[in-house]
Amino acid sequence: MSEHNRSERARRNGAKSKGPTSSTGKRWSSKNSFKTGLYAKTIEAFPQELQDHYNRIHKAYRTDYRPSDSIEDDLLAQMAFNRTRYFYYLSLLGENLENGETLEKLLGQLERSYIRTLNSLESRRRQHPQLGKPDKLIIQWIDPRTGKPWRTEPDELTPKTEGTNPATPTKQEPESRQVRRRRERLERRRLNTSTQVKIPV
């Protein structure tokens, strides 16, 4: 059989193939092109341990920044994906010395991209300061002797019912001139009696 006929038959047989049918086979075949992950665009293309690493970073960023809308959440997801790739490429840099130049270039790109995304998030927070504010702020007083919370400040957002409001302090009336003079006279008398020295006879 000639070379041309063999390649034609292989091409026809390949066209009949529909690929793996089981879910495991499909999962493995979707990762056929994954070697180093240098040009992966989604976190799903990476192995499970890197996906877990990404989830930990994203959760930490969400805890620190508390995104107020989907745009901020998307920026945090980009930053987390960027950091995951950055740490992964750093680990590859020691193993794949032949790809060292490519990896260093990609690390520089990731660093610049991370800073751009962080600046976008910070400038958005500066332009819309109401977005970065937390919904609730609870202040706890710490007892200096024990180091335990002493009492919690009342939350201003919760409606106050009757009977729970603290008593309003009464306004002190200004002292009248007559009362002030009487008080000053009594103080002078008290001072005079305490300073008088009695001589024994």
> Is there a domain that residue 172 lies in?
no
> Is there a domain that residue 197 lies in?
no
Owning domain of residue 132:
35-152
> Is there a domain that residue 106 lies in?
yes
C-alpha distances (whole Å) from 140 to each of 63, 110, 135, 152 are: 20, 41, 17, 5
Amino acid at 157: L
Q: For the chain, 201 residues long, give each residue's pLDDT as a single digit of tens.
A: 567 778 888 778 777 766 666 776 666 555 555 555 667 778 887 888 888 999 999 999 999 888 888 889 999 999 999 999 888 888 877 776 566 677 788 888 989 999 999 999 999 888 887 665 555 555 556 666 676 666 555 554 455 555 555 555 566 667 788 888 888 988 888 888 766 655 555
Tens-place pLDDT, residues 121-145: 999 888 887 665 555 555 556 666 6
> Is there a domain that residue 129 lies in?
yes
> Is there a domain that residue 193 lies in?
no
> Is there a domain that residue 200 lies in?
no
> Is there a domain that residue 196 lies in?
no
Q: Which of 147, 38, 150, 155 is nearest to 85 (CA)?
A: 38
How many structural domains are present in the chain?
Answer: 1
> Is there a domain that residue 83 lies in?
yes
151 forms beta bridges with 141
Q: How many residues does the chain have?
A: 201
Verdict on whether the full-model pTM lies above 0.75: no
Q: What angle do CA 144, 150, 156 make, to 5 degrees?
A: 130
